[in-house]
Structure 1
Amino acid sequence: MDFWLDLLFGNAVGLSSMIVIICTFGLISFFGGYFVYKVMTSKPQ
């Protein structure tokens, strides 16, 4: 736990790295969920 706290709040590089990782995971989750939603609600042609 001390390692993560030092990484997050110890320097700006660690904090920005964690922000990038969290934003990337959020975007992947959003686009994955949107894709599943569009597939489930599409009408058969």
Structure 2
Amino acid sequence: MDFWLDLLFGNAIGLSSMIVIFVALGMISFMGGFFVYKAFKDPETN
């Protein structure tokens, strides 16, 4: 736990890298959810 607190609040590089990781995970989950939403909403055209 001390390692994560030091990484988050110890220096600016650790904080910015964690922000980048969380923003990337948020974007991935948003795009995945949007893809699933569009896949279920649109009817299949075969």
TM-score normalised per structure 1: 0.95
1:43 paired to 2:43: yes
Find out whether 1:15 has 2:15 as its counterpart: yes
Q: Which runs of 5+ in 2 are unaligned?
A: none
TM-fit CA distance, 1:44? 2.7
1:6 Cα deviation after fit: 0.3
Q: How many residues align?
A: 45
1:43 to partner: Cα distance: 1.8
State, as a whole percentage, how many aligned pairs show the same letter: 67
What TM-score comes out, normalization by structure 2 length? Answer: 0.93
